[in-house]
Amino acid sequence: MGNITNREPYQQAYYPPAPTGFTRFMRTCLLWQLYRFVVINLKMLKLITKSHH
Amino acid sequence: MSRVVILGAGISGHTVARYLNKWIGRQHEIVVVSPNAKWNWIPSNIWVGVGQMAEKDVTFDLAELYGKTHVDFRQAKAVSIHPEGNTGSAQPFVTVEYTNPAKAGVQENISYDFLVNATGPKLNFGATEGLGPEHGHTVSVCTASHAQEANHKLQASIDAMRRGELQTIVIGTGHGMCTCQGAAFEYIYNVDHTLREAGVRDKARLIWISNEYELGDFGMGGVHIKRGGYITNGKTFAESLMVERGIEWITRAHVKKVEAGKIHYETMDGTFHELAFDFSMLIPPFAGVGLKAFNKTGEDITSQMFAPNGFMKVDADYTQRPYLEWSARDWPKTYQTPSFRNIFAVGIAFAPPHLISKPMQSANGTPINPTAPRTGMPSAAMAKAVAMSIRDMLNGADKPTHTASMAEMGAACVASTGSHIFKGTAATMTVFPVVPDYEKYPEFGRDIDLTFGEIGLAGHWMKYLLHHAFIYQAKLRPGWSLIPD
């Protein structure tokens, strides 16, 4: 097979958003994730509180 | 002294049992009937299915735990309910058949004052020819032992890739009317992660197959979340996750038949397709466990108490209506059966009034739509509400005192990969409420502040925390009741 000079257009993976390097970094950045952990916990607690009647 | 009989010791049945044991265990009798000897934290079966955990890490012995409480545990399966008793006595009872080796096959009638049906689902592998680990060609992660077997086959597939062979791995739903897409969704990311850790990801074609109309439907009609300055659909979120990991997807698919190495499926446009595979985990459809019901004279009243799919009718509005006339008010609140004030059904055992996702059919008339999920957080919330109602009714209340409608409660789904505290990542998704309420939230049917999706290490810690917290809680360790359900 020779060198690929073009790609098949509009395939399944063409449309969805792909994360940038910065987004991927923030997903594993300990300080940011510690903050998000607190935020997610608070949101979950609010969700649980609103779920019980 | 009254007797409360609980059928099933899964997440919902065990939740009812532990709260009733705490509140009324000294004054009343509590009997738990379950065919399984072990309790299983089902969400972590995913980690068993990729070899990150062993079966013993997600299960514990029920008889041993209940032996330390006021709960009388019988390892047996429920066969029939007799809510009016029989010609000899007006006392209602259930007939059970023991499954523990010492008394296997022995039947017994257990009378009750209150009955909670928390039997969960029958894993209906038989609905699709060739599906499932026992008589078919696919694996499952629905039980801890199934997940263990799935891991053995996955490792064999990884070994083949290490030898240089290319493998096709197909994960998703094994029928057009399956629920529990979330479990398969989590499993595919864990398999992807495991293949990367093993250094063989480039040898695998990873394919998601599902009965969802679009990715991210999860049987809840999808979700809308705030992201990047837009309110976007969960479809975008789910597709992005797949693209990032090089996973292909097939949606709107009903798996008709599985042969060794080949999946036959039909899509919404009415066309038929074949997909070759080397390893496949497909979730089976769920059905009721097949409980029968009889009146005082022994006449079969199963169709009065149960929906045709085997799930128990409760205080929902089961009137058949077009999709556009569905309402959040159709969903049950107290889980009390309409005919018998002392019978309740929780978790998967109750019959939903209708789907949450829009019903769809292929051009050939085959239904292809996810059914309503009612596992995890919702099953625990409804179980606690029923336990509180029974406690209060035993103390004189004439009707259930607590409600837990799926149209008024939220749910969280954390799809985590790997179990290492710094290396894992997770997609955390929450919805509030589970069943959209367009009267309360006209635009999207849900509270957009409590309905969110996010990817990162924080979600992985949540999943890790939930694993340990809920097993701690289920084992009734000190302070268990302080942990929110």
Q: What is the pLDDT of residues B231-254, one digit of tens each?
A: 999 999 999 999 999 999 999 999
- Interchain CB contact of A52 with B (< 8 Å): yes
Give the model confidence (pLDDT) of B333-343 as tens digits. Answer: 999 999 999 99
Q: How far is residue B467's CA from residue B314's CA, in Å, rounded to a whole number?
A: 31
Tokens of B420: 């290492």
Residue B392 contacts A where some CB pair is shorter than 8 Å: no
Between CA B335 and CA B207 the distance in angstroms is: 38
Provide the domain limits for residue B364.
3-123+287-394
Taking alpha carbons only, the member of B183, B187, B222 closest to residue B206 is: B187
pLDDT band at B423 (very low <50, low <70, confident <90, very high): confident
Pairing of strands B122-123, B286-287: antiparallel
Q: Is the pLDDT of residue B183 over 80?
A: yes
How far B406 CA lies from chain A's nearest CA (Å)?
A: 9
pTM for this prediction: 0.94
- Residue B391 in this model has a pLDDT that exceeds 90: yes
Is B248 inside any structural domain? no
CA distance A10 to chain B (A): 13
Number of cross-chain residue pairs from A and B with Cβ atoms under 8 Å apart: 89
* CB contact B242 to A (< 8 Å): yes
Partner residue opposite A27 with nearest CB, options B236, B456, B461: B456
Locus of tokens 């062979």:
B165
State the CB neighbour count (10 A cutoff) for residue B306: 23
Contacts of B381 in chain A (CB under 8 A): 51-52
Q: Is the pLDDT of residue B479 over 90?
A: yes
Q: Is residue B69 part of a domain?
A: yes
- Do A12 and B404 count as a contact with CB atoms less than 8 A apart? no
The confidence score (pLDDT) of residue B419 equals 64
Please say if the pLDDT value at position B71 is more than 60: yes
Q: Is B232 inside any structural domain? A: no
Helices (H), ranges, B110-180:
144-162
Judge: B410–A50 Cβ closer than 8 Å, yes or no: yes
Q: Is residue B250 part of a domain?
A: no
Going by C-beta distance under 8 Å and a sequence separation of 6 or more, which residues neighbour residue B1?
A: B27, B28, B29
pLDDT for the residue A1: 55
Q: Is A16 in Cβ contact with B381 (below 8 Å)?
A: no
Please state the domain count of chain B: 1
Left if phi > 0, otherwise alpha if psi is -120 to 50, otherwise beta: which for B241? alpha
> Strand, coil or helix: what is B333?
coil
ipTM, two decimals? 0.90
Say if residues B435 and A53 touch (Cβ distance below 8 Å).
no
Report the CATH number that the domain containing residue B364 is assigned in CATH.
3.50.50.100
Q: Are the C-beta atoms of B39 and B149 separated by less than 8 Å?
A: no
Inside any domain, residue B173 = no
* B182 contacts: CB under 8 Å, gap ≥ 6: B218, B373, B413, B415
Is residue B199 in some structural domain?
no
